Amino acid sequence: MVSAIRWSGAMLLAACLGCVSGSTQQGGTPPGASIPAAPDAACEPVDAAPEAAGMDASGLQGIDKAVTDAIAAGELPGAVVVVARHGKVVYRKAFGMRAVAPAPEAMTVDTIFDIASLSKVVATTPAVMQLAERGAVDLNAPVKRYLPRFAGGGKDAITVRQLLTHYSGLRPDFDLSVEWSGYDAAIGELYKEKVVAEPGRKFAYSDLNFIALAEIVRVVSGQRLDAYAEEHIFAPLGMDETAFTPPAAWRDRTAPTEPRKNTLKYLKGKSTLPEYDAILRGDVHDATTWRMDGVSGHAGVFSTARDLTLYAQALLDRGAFCRDCGGARVDGRLMSEASFAAMTSPQSPAGAAQVRGYGWDIASTYASPRGNLPEGGFGHTGFTGTSIWIHPPSDSFIIILSNRVHPAGGKNINRLRSAVANAVAAAMR
């Protein structure tokens, strides 16, 4: 077990906060030691005219029509959309309503969203890649090397890579008609699972894969995923309003979703308790993560458009980022450029129709946020109505955040995701 992981971003945060000490972390270097330079990284993208980033402002107006049409069609109550290129935010806008029940509230650009499955690529995937880069995790090793009880039922041959690419052969999720409660109980249920397909043969998007990956992070690093992500990902990047189990102080600015009784039904769970009739606000929407005390590898993160802009920009800069520390620029790295390249290039079995990187979607049936953007990008979606698509060839990214499940389930917004991407593609010079 590795009790602490050396990471330049964590040292960067310590330097910015002025809390450098003379101690040395196990397997690392003294805090405050030299940080690998990242001269190509952009600091927080600033708002700029579209023309300053090679974009046509009139073309971006297609986003307004796509979102307002979707709201009018009842597909979602509201949304926040951000488009950035060349380190500049060329489009940042809130639409519609943050809440329609029990009382109406207008959407704002600083709304905090339950980002659902974006948690897979904002927290779990970078955590695994950092541990792999440190040598603490071998992506080609069987999962049971790190989780010895992950055995039997056809699971022995499943590798970490297959969890990351959704070729493990595990079913999509737990059946919540089975009663259990708590993080440890969920891991116990995971160990009981049997494969439904031969590992490495068939693509099946599965939350169980990322529940297993989060447990690997916990066992190897000694930190539960929420603590690991805060220390090694969110805080160094300056993602100050991103967290699992968000504090009560964030509640008023958080987009509500739907009642707990609804979320349980998605996975055959049942409840007759009257308190589960209330609309969720600040509590995780995903019912499996809720049963796991709010922390899981597949869901549970809450965030804002601004914080996800910081994260997306770091990935556009191939894992590098910078911070303004008292007026001085200090550079750091989320991961090495080689790790970033591996994470965002095809890692599915050769010839597979569903092409995935490590965690990220590249070209699969889940790639609606790509729209007509050319190949070379990667992204992910979230059940609550969130998505990110990052396109290194054009040095751009698109973030769509919504609570499309509010107030009672919502509709499919894949058409909207594609329409927004198409408007961005058309606006590029």
CATH code, 157 = 3.40.710.10
Instruction: Tell me the two tokens of residue 163.
Output: 């969890």
Per-residue model confidence (pLDDT) at position 368: 92
Q: Considering the domain boundaries, does residue 311 fall inside one?
A: yes
Q: Which of 393, 399, 394 is nearest to 429 (CA)?
A: 394
Buried b (16+ CB within 10 A) or exposed e, 201-226: ebbbbbbbbbbbbbbbbbebbebbbb
Q: Considering the domain boundaries, does residue 93 fall inside one?
A: yes
Per-residue model confidence (pLDDT) at position 33: 28
Q: What predicted TM-score, i.e. pTM, was given to this entire model?
A: 0.92
Q: Considering the domain boundaries, does residue 24 fall inside one?
A: no
Instruction: Tell me the two tokens of residue 346.
Output: 């095809």
Q: Is the peptide bond before 102 cis (omega within 30 degrees of 0)?
A: yes
Measured distance CA(266)–CA(176) in Å, rounded:
9
Per-residue model confidence (pLDDT) at position 11: 54
Q: Considering the domain boundaries, does residue 23 fall inside one?
A: no
Per-residue model confidence (pLDDT) at position 264: 97
Q: Which helix (H) or strand (E) is 382 found in, with range? A: strand 378-382
Sign of CA dihedral 351, 298, 322, 389: positive
Q: Which of 258, 261, 251 is nearest to 280 (CA)?
A: 258
Count CB atoms within 10 A of the CB of residue 274: 8
Q: Considering the domain boundaries, does residue 392 fall inside one?
A: yes
Q: Considering the domain boundaries, does residue 18 fall inside one?
A: no
Per-residue model confidence (pLDDT) at position 7: 39
- Per residue of the chain (429 residues), what is the pLDDT tens digit? 433 333 345 555 554 544 332 222 323 322 222 334 344 566 889 999 999 999 999 999 999 999 999 999 999 999 999 999 999 999 999 999 999 999 999 999 999 999 999 999 999 999 999 999 999 999 999 999 999 999 999 999 999 999 999 999 999 999 999 999 999 999 999 999 999 999 999 999 999 999 999 999 999 999 999 999 999 999 999 999 999 999 999 999 999 999 999 999 999 999 889 999 999 999 999 999 999 999 999 999 999 999 999 999 999 999 999 987 777 888 899 999 999 999 999 999 999 999 999 999 999 999 999 998 999 999 999 999 999 999 999 999 999 999 999 999 989 999 999 999 999 999 999
Measured distance CA(41)–CA(317) in Å, rounded:
5
Q: Contact, 120 vs 357, CB < 8 A?
A: no
- Using N-to-C axis directions, what is the helix angle for 57-72 and 414-427, rounded to 10°? 170
Q: Which of 291, 304, 303 is nearest to 119 (CA)?
A: 303
Q: Considering the domain boundaries, does residue 290 fall inside one?
A: yes
Measured distance CA(245)–CA(286) in Å, rounded:
12
Per-residue model confidence (pLDDT) at position 326: 76
Measured distance CA(315)–CA(2) in Å, rounded:
26
Q: Considering the domain boundaries, does residue 35 fall inside one?
A: no
Q: Contact, 218 vs 225, CB < 8 A?
A: yes
Task: Report the number of distinct structural domains present in the chain.
Answer: 1
Per-residue model confidence (pLDDT) at position 4: 34
Measured distance CA(324)–CA(413) in Å, rounded:
37
Per-residue model confidence (pLDDT) at position 327: 78
Per-residue model confidence (pLDDT) at position 325: 76
- Domain extent for 104: 8-13+43-427
